[in-house]
Structure 1
Amino acid sequence: MKAELLKNTLNYMKRAISVSNKPTNILFTLSEFHNVKKATISLKKKKFKAFRVQHNNIRGPFKGGVRYHQNVDLDEIKTLAFLMTLKCATVGIPYGGAKGGVQINPKKLTKKDLEELTRKYTRVIANDIGPNRDIPAPDLGTDSQIMAWMMDEYSKIQGENQFAICTSKPKEIGGLLYYDRTQATGEGGIYVLEAALSKFNLGIKNPTAVIQGFGNVGHFLADFLFGKGFKIIAVSDSKGAIFNPKGLDPHNLFSCKEVEGSVAFCASGKKIKKEDIWSLPCDILIPAALENEINKYNCRKIKTKIILEMANSPTTPEADKILTQKGIIIIPDILANAGGVVVSYFEWVQNLSGYIWDGKEISDKLQKIMTEAFSEVYHQHDRYSTDLRTAAYIIAIDRLYKAMKLRGWIR
C-alpha cells in the first residue's frame, strides 16, 4: 500500500501538468531524488533500519520530519519527502522536501534508549544535514526532546552550537520563546478552513465538525474550532470514537483521554465504532491521522460539505474522484496541513538571525501566509475549473518549474 502513495502523488502531478499545459519534462526531473540514505542502527543488541531521503532543493534547503515507528519503510519516507517539496512550494516558503525515519517502536524504549538512538541516528546523517542543507523536525513518534538531542549531537560533531540545525526545539535551546510549536499545524488548518468558507457559498450557519484522529494535530485543531464557535460532534482516535450531536468540549476530551487512554472511554458522549465516524452527517470532516484512511470502501458513506486534509495523503485517488463527483470540496494536505512547516521556517529564520518574534506576530504571519496560499489555490481552481488538489499542485509545479528554469536544471 505504501508503494502506491508515491505513484498516487506522481499521478496527481501528471494531472496538474496536463491541466496547466506545463512541459512534461518537469515530471521526469521532479521524479528524481537528490539523495536516499539507508543505514542500520544498533540498539540493545538489535539492529534497526534508518533512512534520510532528500527529494529536491531547487527552492531552498531540504526540510522534513524524522519519525520513529515500527512500520516506517523507504517507500513511505520517499513519498513524504516528495510531498514536503510540493507543500513548501504551495505555501511559498523557501524549502525543499526531505524526510527521515527509524523502523522502531519508540513506546518500547526508555528515555535513555531514545537518547542513544537519536544520537546514533544524528551521527549517521550528520554529513547530509546542516542549517543551510537539510533541517530535520519532529514527526510521528518524535518530539522536541528528540530535537534537543539531535541539535546537541550535531553541535558536538561541528564543534560549536548549531541551533538552526533542526526545528521544534524546546524554547530554552533555540525554540520559539512565545509560541507553542505543537499547535502550528492545527492553527494553520483553521486559517485555511476559514478562507475556504468565505470563498465557497455553502450556506453553513452553525458549522458542525467531525475529527478523525486526536493527536497533536487533531487536538489543537479541535481547540481552535471550538474557540471559533464550531460544534464538534464526533472525535476518534486509534482505540475508538465518541459522538455527541450537542457538541464536545475538546479541552475536557483531551483531559479525559490523558487519564482513560482513549476518547472512547469518556463520558462526554456516546461511544461508537471508530469506522462509524465516516458516515456521520457534518459540515466539515477532518482526517487527522494516517494515510489512505478515506478510501473506496468508506467514501460513499461520507456526508459532508468540506474535507480538510490534516493528515498526509489521507484520501486515496479512487475516493478523491468519487467525493469530487459528489460535489464535496477537498482541501488538500499540501495546503491544509502546511502550518507546521511554515512555523518551523519562522523558528529557523530566528535561529539564523538571532531575532525573536512574539507569539502574536508568529500567529499573524502564519495567518497571512496560509490565507494568501488558499487565495492563490482558489484562483487556479477558478481559472482552470478544477478541484483544489489539482490547483494546489499547479501552483507548486509552477514555482518549481520557474526555479529550475532560472537555475538551468531544465531547458
Structure 2
Amino acid sequence: MPTPPSMPPSMPPSTPFMSLTWTDHVTGRRGFLVVDRLVRGVCSGGLRMRPGCTLEEVAGLARGMTMKEALHYDPRARYVPLGGAKGGIDCDPRDPAAYEVLVRYLRAMRPYIADSWTTGEDLGLTQELVDRATAEAGLTSCVQAVYPLLDDEAAARRRLADAFAVEVDGIGLDALVGGCGVAESVLTALDAAGMAPGQARVAVQGLGTMGGATARFLARAGLTVVAVADIKGTVANPDGLDVEALLAARDAYGTVDRAVLRPGDRELADEAWLSADAEVLVPAAVSYAVRPDNQARITARWIAEAANMPVLADAERLLTARGVTVLPDVVVNSATNAWWWWTLFGDIGDAPDLADEAFTHTRRAMRALVGEVLARARRDGSTPRAAAHALAADRLPEITERFGWYAPGVRATALPCHT
C-alpha cells in the first residue's frame, strides 16, 4: 500500500492543536490522539482500531472532523459545532488482546475524554464496545466533555438514551442514521444529474454499520445493489442482490455468511467491487481503498465516500480527469456525527417517533448540504471536495469569532454515557 497522504486533495494546510502517540506498556501496540481544533474547549471525533493505523492517518481524520463540524454549522440551530479530533489504535480488533488494549488506551486518554475530547465508535469498533471499555477505564461517559456546553444536561442525557434505545427492523437507530445520510447524498447527486433512482446500480464495499445501512437505504430508494464486499471477497449479482438477506446474515464485523447466497449470486475476488457494472460506488470500509494502481478499473460515474479517506489524493485526480465525481467523506458520512449533536443539543429528540424525526432531519440537512456543495463546485469549476472545503473555510472564522477556542474554567461533570 502506498504511503497515505496526510490530507485529501484541496484540504487547506493545518497544524493540529495537539498530537500525541501512546505506547501500550503490555503489548507494545501504539495509539494516537490528534486534536485538530477546539471550539469552546471541546472537540469531537471517533476512535478507530485497525492494524497499521498511523499518526498521519489520524491527523488527516481529525482535520476531516473539523470540516464536518463546520459544514453543519447553522447559526439558527441549537447545535454549536465542536472542534475536530480523532483517535486511533494500531491493533487488529479481532486480536484476543484487543479489548484490553482498548481499555488501557482509554485509561491513558482519560484526562482528554473527561474534559475536552468527545468520542465514539469508528472503524473496527462498535459503540457498545466503546461504552463498555469506557466504563472499565474509569470514565463515566465517552461524550461527557460536551455536557457543560448544554442548557439542560439531564434532558440531553434522556434524549440520547431514548434515541439509542430505538431499533428499526432490528437495527439500532444509531447504526442507521449514517447510512441514511450517505444514501441521501447519492440521491441528491442523482437528482442533480437527472437520473432516477431506478436507473442506477450501486456497489458497496463493506457491510458494517455504515455500509450495511447505506445498502439498505439505497435499495429501498429504488437503486439496484449489484455488488457488496466484505473481508471474504465480493458477492455480485447483475440482477440485484437480496440486501435484507445479506444484512441478516452478517456477523459483528460485517462479514456475510455465504450460506444465504442465492443461485444467481457470484463470489468474486476482493477488489471486484471496484469494477462492478454500476453507476455508483460506495467505499464504506477502510481508508485508502481506491489508489492510483486500481482506480482505472472503476467505470462508475460517482464514488460516495461512506468511509473516511477511502480515495487517495492521486487516485482522485486521475478519476476527476476522466469524469468520475467523488462525493467527499467530509460531507457524505457526516450525518452520524451530526445526529449525536442534533440530539444532545436539542434540535431533535422530543418527537413521538424518534426514528422518523431523525431520518426526516437527516434527509433535509444532507439534501441541503450536498446541494450546496454541488452548486459551489459548478460555480467554481472545482470538485465537490474542493467546494466542501471552501464552504468549511468560509464558516470556520465565524465559528471561531462567535465561540472561541477555549472555555476557561469549564470542567466536565461525570455523567453516564447514552446506554
TM-score, length-scaled by structure 1: 0.82
Match of 2:10? 12
Please point out which of 362, 369, 381 is paired with 1:385: 381
Q: In 2, distance between residues paired with 1:82 and 1:408?
A: 18
Report the CA distance shift for 1:395/1:264 in structure 2 as closer, same or farther (over 3 A): farther
Structure 1 residues without counterparts, runs of 5 or longer: 15-26
What displacement does 1:99 show?
A: 0.9
Q: In 2, distance between residues paired with 1:263 and 1:251?
A: 13
1:36 aligns with 2:24: no
Please point out which of 255, 263, 267 is paired with 2:261: 267
Q: In 1, distance between residues paired with 2:122 and 2:67?
A: 18
Higher relative CO (Cα under 8 Å, sequence separation at least 6) belongs to 2
Q: In 2, distance between residues paired with 1:130 and 1:94?
A: 19
What displacement does 1:216 show?
A: 1.7
Please report the RMSD computed on the Cα atoms of aligned residues, expressed in angstroms. Answer: 3.2
Please point out which of 96, 106, 110 is paired with 2:93: 106
Q: In 2, distance between residues paired with 1:88 and 1:32?
A: 17
Q: In 1, distance between residues paired with 2:224 and 2:48?
A: 32
Report the CA distance shift for 1:319/1:130 in structure 2 as closer, same or farther (over 3 A): same
Q: In 2, distance between residues paired with 1:376 and 1:90?
A: 10
Q: In 2, distance between residues paired with 1:398 and 1:184?
A: 27
Q: In 2, distance between residues paired with 1:60 and 1:189?
A: 30
Structure richer in helix, relative to its length? 1
Report the CA distance shift for 1:263/1:142 in structure 2 as closer, same or farther (over 3 A): same
Report the CA distance shift for 1:265/1:128 in structure 2 as closer, same or farther (over 3 A): same
The question of whether the paired residues in 2 share the 8 Å contact of 1:182 and 1:216 is answered with: yes
Match of 1:207? 200
1:313 aligns with 2:313: no
What displacement does 1:177 show?
A: 3.1
CA deviations 1:62-87 (Å, max 9, x no partner) are 11111222322211111111111112
Match of 1:237? 230
Q: In 1, distance between residues paired with 2:225 and 2:33?
A: 38
Q: In 2, distance between residues paired with 1:185 and 1:354?
A: 16
Match of 1:176? 164
What displacement does 1:3 show?
A: 5.3
The question of whether the paired residues in 1 share the 8 Å contact of 2:39 and 2:404 is answered with: no
Report the CA distance shift for 1:118/1:212 in structure 2 as closer, same or farther (over 3 A): closer
Match of 2:331? 335
Q: In 2, distance between residues paired with 1:277 and 1:49?
A: 32
Please point out which of 144, 150, 154 is paired with 1:165: 144
1:127 aligns with 2:108: no
What displacement does 1:32 show?
A: 1.3
What letter corresponds to residue 82 of structure 2 in structure 1?
Answer: Y
Q: In 2, distance between residues paired with 1:347 and 1:130?
A: 20
2:46 match: secondary structure: strand
Structure 2 residues without counterparts, runs of 5 or longer: 74-79, 147-156, 168-172, 406-419
What letter corresponds to residue 335 of structure 2 in structure 1?
Answer: G
Match of 1:291? 287
